[in-house]
Structure 1
Amino acid sequence: MTMHAIAHAHELRANLRQGVVMHPADIKAALEKAGSSQTKIAQTLGVSKTTVGHVIYGRSSSRRIAAEISRVTDLPLSKLWPGRYDDKK
């Protein structure tokens, strides 16, 4: 595991403890409950499943991908990733 990955994992755990972000598993579960998946989001947007995963896990940001996840799950961006994206459509 690289130093960057270790730092990111520590940051994610700290943010989860503080309730700052939704856990990636909860985002994936919300997609599943909505009848979607990482793969379906990727196909809809013409990106890789890995790219969608990076957004879900907070390793990278993409307003386009995040907005599609928000649309499909009917959850505001501010709930999925507080402070990362605004809720403008």
Structure 2
Amino acid sequence: MPTAFIPFTMRASARDGHRRTFRTDVERLSAGHLHWAPLDVLRSTGTQAVFRGAVPQGAHTTTDADLARFLEDRLATADIHLDLSVTIDR
């Protein structure tokens, strides 16, 4: 049975203490380093970026806040520390 993917828009902001790595983090995200969530950069500045992506449907896609927490946790395991706000496309 095919897996359903949930599209979303994500705004990423530089987190305090990690501002120096923000540009590198955005580049890592847009270069496909996250094989579990393909992301495209829609626009980016020195402190914020907007991405479009999709993740497999699951408990983490129930609400925008659930998905934001899930993504922040997954990114932290890749040593990417960003503040996220997410909107699931319904």
- Structure number with greater CO (CA < 8 Å, separation at least 6) is 2
Question: Which of the two has greater helix per residue?
Answer: 1
Please report the TM-score for the alignment, with normalisation by the length of structure 2. 0.30
TM-score, structure 1 as length reference = 0.31
* Higher relative strand content: 2
